[in-house]
């Protein structure tokens, strides 16, 4: 039986029009006009137990609305949704016992208290039996090496440390479904790696069904085998990451910073995506030329200060996907 089933989910919001200028502002004081936004327009998918799926899409595409519906926060206009055999927006209290939620930008820990006290409070909130609580906590703390942080007040933790503690906090009641909303947002590169590593181990050892929303393609690449892409309130793609990339483009970007600019000559196999002073971003197809060969060639011909190979940003991929959809 799937852990999550979603069918034809629709959610609309009424948004007040903002009129420009001082006169408009004065009018708005007395009379408002509204227009309707379809945040979810027939979303459907299902998840098997133990799956870790990346839920991606541009800002305002409907990601967080979907998560809010699945978490039981929002009631949709229409559509079917079952999480672990329950309709999330009915019997909120019973539903949320089975889920854990991490909001990347907001901690659920008590700011001025040591981490361990937040954990204890969550035990009371979720009414977890003491024996089970202690076992879960000790296991997670050992798994993630959080022992030394437990007595530190939350406000003194770094963002990355806090995020790891937040993730543990959301798992103390052993939820069967975990929502991770932007878990790496605002983290420095080292902390991002630590959090990803943590999530990978969690996935291996605990097998919690997880929905990960993120802007960071590297998160997806490191963690997810399956990607669901939402845009304009409906599912634009559902499959493996490779399939997504392959369907859209094979290209990679090489960003080069030259020691002195202006000497760029057209090279075979690459096109210039953009240039800014001494910085050039080149796109190439790894089927035509391997990244290592291209770098060797560029470095031999130009005075290079810095080099970086990356995937096209998610926004580019989505834009391409849409270009492709529209004939």
Partner 1 sequence: MADAVRLYTRYIGASLRAQMQYRASFIMNALGHLAITAGEFLSLAALFGRFGNIDGWTLPEVALFYGLVSCAFALCEGVARGFDDFSRTIRNGDFDRLLVRPRSTLLQVAGQELQLLRVGRFLQGLAVLIWSAATLGIAWTLPRILLVLGAVLGGVCLFYGLFVLQATLCFWTVQSLEVMNTLTYGGVETAQFPVTVYRAWFRNIFIYVVPLACVTYFPALAILDRADALGSPTWFQWLAPLVGVGFMALAPQVWHFGVRHYRSTGS
Partner 2 sequence: MSAYLSTFQARGRVLLQYREAALAGVVTQLFWGGIRIMIYEAFYRSSSAAQPMSYAQTVTYLWLIQAMLLLVPWRVDPEAAASIRDGSVAYEMVRPADLYWYWFSRGLAQRVLPVLMRAAPIFIIAMPFFGMQAPVSAAAALAWVASIGAAALLSCAITMLATISLLWSVAGDGVSRLLATLASLLSGSVVPLPFYPDWAQPVLNALPFRGLMDIPFRVYTGDVTLGQWLPLLGHQLIWTAVLVLIGRWLLARGLRRLVVQGG
Among 1, 14, 20, 22, binds partner 2 (CB under 8 A): 22
Nearer to partner 1, 172 or 199 (CB): 172
Read off the tokens for 174. 């052993």
- Smallest gap from Cβ 235 to partner 1, in A, equals 20
Contacts with partner 2 by CB under 8 A: the residue count is 5
Phi first, then psi: what are they for 108, rounded to 5°?
Answer: -100, 5
Q: Map residue 257 onto helix, strand or coil.
A: strand
- Is 180:199 a contact under the CB 8 Å cutoff? yes
Nearer to partner 1, 70 or 318 (CB): 70
* Residue 257 neighbours by CB under 8 Å, 6+ apart: 278, 279, 280, 304, 305, 306, 307
Site residues (vs partner 1, CB under 8 A): 13-14, 65, 68, 71-75, 89, 92-94, 96-97, 99, 101, 103, 106, 108, 110-113, 117, 121, 124-127, 153
Among 25, 135, 243, 290, binds partner 2 (CB under 8 A): 25
Contacting range for partner 2; rule: CB under 8 A; set: 23-31, 175-183, 218-226, 230-238: 23-31
Nearest to 241 by CA among 70, 56, 65: 56
Instruction: Please give the Cα distance from 74 to 72 (Å, whole number).
Output: 6
Among 1, 14, 23, 29, binds partner 2 (CB under 8 A): 29
Give the DSSP H/E element, type plus range, for residue 279.
Answer: strand 279-284
Nearer to partner 1, 88 or 312 (CB): 88
Nearer to partner 2, 28 or 114 (CB): 28
- Smallest gap from Cβ 25 to partner 2, in A, equals 6
Tell me the CB-side half-sphere exposure of residue 54, using CA atoms within 13 A.
27
Among 2, 5, 10, 28, binds partner 2 (CB under 8 A): 28
Distances (CA, A) of 136 to 121, 123, 142, 298: 15, 11, 10, 53
Distances (CA, A) of 109 to 117, 134, 161, 218, 246: 9, 18, 12, 27, 41
What does the longest C-alpha to C-alpha distance in the chain come to? Answer: 70
Angle between helix axes 159-169 and 189-206 (nearest 10 degrees) is: 20
Contact of residue 68 among partner 2, partner 1, none (CB under 5-8 Å per partner type): partner 1
- Is 236:318 a contact under the CB 8 Å cutoff? yes
Nearer to partner 1, 110 or 264 (CB): 110
Site for partner 2 in 52-111 (CB under 8 A): none
Give the DSSP H/E element, type plus range, for residue 179.
Answer: strand 177-181
- Smallest gap from Cβ 114 to partner 1, in A, equals 9
Contact of residue 33 among partner 2, partner 1, none (CB under 5-8 Å per partner type): none
Contact of residue 287 among partner 2, partner 1, none (CB under 5-8 Å per partner type): none
- Smallest gap from Cβ 100 to partner 1, in A, equals 8
- Smallest gap from Cβ 324 to partner 1, in A, equals 32
The answer to whether 263 contacts partner 2 (rule: CB under 8 A) is no
DSSP state of 114: B
Contacting range for partner 2; rule: CB under 8 A; set: 20-28, 38-46, 71-79, 313-321: 20-28
**Contact residues for partner 2, defined by CB under 8 A:** 22, 25-26, 28-29
């Amino acid at each position: 039986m799937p852990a999550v089933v979603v069918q034809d989910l629709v959610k609309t919001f009424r948004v007040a029009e903002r009129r420009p200028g001082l006169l408009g502002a004065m009018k708005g004081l007395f009379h408002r006009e509204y227009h309707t936004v379809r945040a979810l327009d027939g979303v459907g998918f299902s998840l098997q137990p133990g799956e870790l799926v990346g839920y991606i899409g541009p800002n305002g595409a409907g990601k967080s609305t979907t998560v809010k519906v699945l978490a039981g926060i929002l009631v949709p206009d229409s559509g079917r949704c079952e999480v672990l055999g329950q309709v999330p927006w009915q019997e909120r209290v019973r539903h949320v016992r089975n889920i854990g939620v991490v909001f990347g930008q907001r901690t659920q820990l008590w700011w001025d208290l040591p981490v361990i006290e937040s954990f204890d409070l969550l035990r009371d909130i979720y009414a977890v039996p003491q024996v089970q609580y202690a076992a879960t906590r000790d296991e997670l703390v050992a798994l993630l090496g959080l022992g030394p942080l437990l007595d530190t007040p939350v406000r003194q933790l770094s963002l990355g440390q806090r995020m790891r503690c937040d993730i543990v906090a959301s798992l103390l009641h052993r939820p069967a479904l975990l929502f991770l909303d932007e878990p790496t947002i605002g983290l420095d590169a080292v902390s991002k790696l630590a959090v990803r590593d943590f999530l990978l181990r969690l996935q291996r050892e605990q097998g919690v069904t997880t929905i990960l929303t993120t802007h960071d393609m590297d998160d997806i690449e490191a963690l997810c085998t399956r990607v669901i892409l939402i845009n304009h309130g409906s599912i634009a793609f559902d499959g493996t990451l490779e399939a997504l990339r392959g369907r859209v483009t094979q290209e990679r970007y090489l960003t080069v910073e030259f020691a002195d600019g202006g000497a760029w000559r057209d090279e075979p196999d690459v096109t210039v995506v953009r240039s800014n002073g001494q910085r050039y971003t080149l796109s190439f197809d790894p089927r035509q030329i391997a990244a290592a060969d291209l770098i060797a060639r560029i470095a031999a011909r130009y005075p290079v200060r810095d080099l970086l190979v990356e995937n096209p940003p998610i926004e580019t991929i989505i834009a391409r996907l849409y270009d492709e959809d529209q004939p």
